[in-house]
Amino acid sequence: METQAPSCFNLPIRVYIEDTDAGGIVFYANYLKFMERARTEYIRSLGVELRAGMQQNISYVVHSLEVKYHKPAKLDDLVTVTAVVAKVGKTYLIFDQQVVAENKAVLVSAQVKVACVSLDTGKPRAIDTGLINAIR
């Protein structure tokens, strides 16, 4: 059974020189790192520790993603990275994410499917009920 979850999380991130390419704009792959941080901090804000899940043989991995790059972020910009749980499935979560400039312009948008897997086998498994309850 799939359900919709409206919860949203915002993570401010400053663009450092390590995040940019030679032209001073954020290197495209670094947006994925920003989004990973936002998803992780969102889960942490719910009181769920990923390390505890690993001790229970649970891990969450990116299954697939679709990214659209609209405008670049630049060195020293302060951006906000959002994470919204758009869908909760038995073995996966779908996040809608954005990187937003201070002027509210959407710089990057993405949909990320994160699968719950067994660390032993790498195969899909049911999401921990504690995480599902925390999201709802």
With vertex at residue 130, the alpha carbon angle to CA 128 and CA 133, rounded to the nearest 5 degrees, is 115
Q: Which member of 19, 21, 76, 77 is catalytic?
A: 21
Contacts of 49 (CB under 8 A, 6+ apart): none
Tell me the two tokens of residue 60.
């969450």
Closest to 83 measured CA to CA, from 4, 7, 5, 9: 9
- Annotated active-site residue 120? The verdict is no
Distance CA 29, CA 15 (A): 13
What positions carry a catalytic annotation? 21
